[in-house]
Amino acid sequence: MTTVKTRRTLAKAGVLTGLVLGGLFAGLPVLWMLSTSFKSNGEVFRNPPKLITESFSLDAYREILGNGAQLRFFLNSYIVAGAVTVLTLLVAVLAGYAFSRFNFPLQRTINAVIVSVQAVPPITLVIPYFGLVVALGLYNTYPGLILTHMVFTLPYAIIMTTAYLNTLPRELDESVKVDGGNSWTALWRILVPISVPGLIAVGVYTFMISWNEYLFALTLTRTDDMRTVPIGIQLLMGQHSYEWNQMMAMSILGSVPVLVLFLLFQRRFIGGLTAGAVKA
């Protein structure tokens, strides 16, 4: 019995050590970002480097939060990323269902096309895409940006929803159909609720891709009232020098919504919802 207990303690210690080492790997650069946001610009490159410097201050945060234009960037990012997440999830669930549960002509071709469209280097796509958006009258509008981000996140979302739905056995669908339901009810009554952890993962990632996207957000917006946070951050990278502390402050502030989203939904990641439920 002692051996079992010691083995358990050793295992626990092992996992904890692993977690701590991994945590250092993941967290140190972010810690440095935080530390830089509190420094004055002259101290950023100081040698030898220090974590906390003499002129520690919250000025950078004050400047960002007091700047109307920057706050507008945050608002725009929220609106765009939020809409993109909801709409993409919706469309992707429908598409994933089609790929997972049906056999139809052109299925493989359509699937391959969806996966491949994200392969075109965005930089070559920018100019014709931009022309198209202008022609559609979507230049410098929310819908223009939202639809664009949807197109970028859909391939990923569809691949993942297909994968998650594929892990669910067909008997689940049958159980609904026996009760008189059709494919629509099978999807929304059974499959979606079970796939919630997977869908949340997809949703969080979609939100992040949209939130952090820069190239098309820059190209498709013209005025400050439409621009998003990544553009706001790059605006601080001037011709002659960078506003390091503000850049870092804005990045930290920009990461907060995603972090909050993650915190809110992470309980769903933890087991219980699917383990053992319904499956034979």
Of residues 146-175, those binding other proteins (CB under 8 A): 146-148, 150-151, 154-156, 158-160, 162-164, 166-167, 171, 174-175
- Total residues in contact with other proteins, by rule CB under 8 A: 151
Question: Does 203 contact other proteins by CB under 8 A?
Answer: no
Q: Which of 6, 15, 62, 264 binds other proteins (CB under 8 A)?
A: 15
In the complex, minimum distance from the CB of residue 25 to other proteins, in angstroms, rounded to a whole number: 7
Q: How far is the CB of 234 from other proteins (least distance, A)?
A: 4
In the list 173, 186, 198, 206, the residue contacting other proteins (rule: CB under 8 A) is 198
Residue 222: CB minimum distance to other proteins, A = 6
Q: Which of 222, 245, 246, 264 contacts other proteins by CB under 8 A?
A: 222
Neighbouring-strand partners of residue 42? none
Chain mean position to CA 141: 21
Q: Is 139 in the site for other proteins (CB under 8 A)?
A: yes
Q: Confirm or reject binding of residue 271 to other proteins (CB under 8 A).
A: yes
The gap from C-alpha 269 to its chain's centroid, in whole angstroms, comes to 16
CB nearer to other proteins: pick between 38 and 164:
164
CB 254 within 8 A of CB 233: yes
Angle between helix axes 59-66 and 244-265 (nearest 10 degrees) is 80
Q: For other proteins, which is the closer residue by CB, 58 or 234?
A: 234
Site for other proteins in 34-73 (CB under 8 A): 36, 40-42, 44-49
Of positions 53, 65, 72, 255, contacts other proteins by CB under 8 A: 255
Which of residues 99, 173, 210, 245 is near other proteins by CB under 8 A?
99
Least separation in angstroms between residue 1's CB and other proteins is 18
Please say whether the beta carbons of 200 and 92 come within 8 A: no
26 binds other proteins (CB under 8 A): yes
CB of 144 to other proteins, least distance (A): 9
Packing angle, helices 2-37 and 244-265, rounded to 10: 140
- For the CB of residue 56, give the shortest distance to other proteins in the complex, in Å: 16
Q: Pick one of 204, 206, 210, 245: the residue that binds other proteins (CB under 8 A).
A: 204
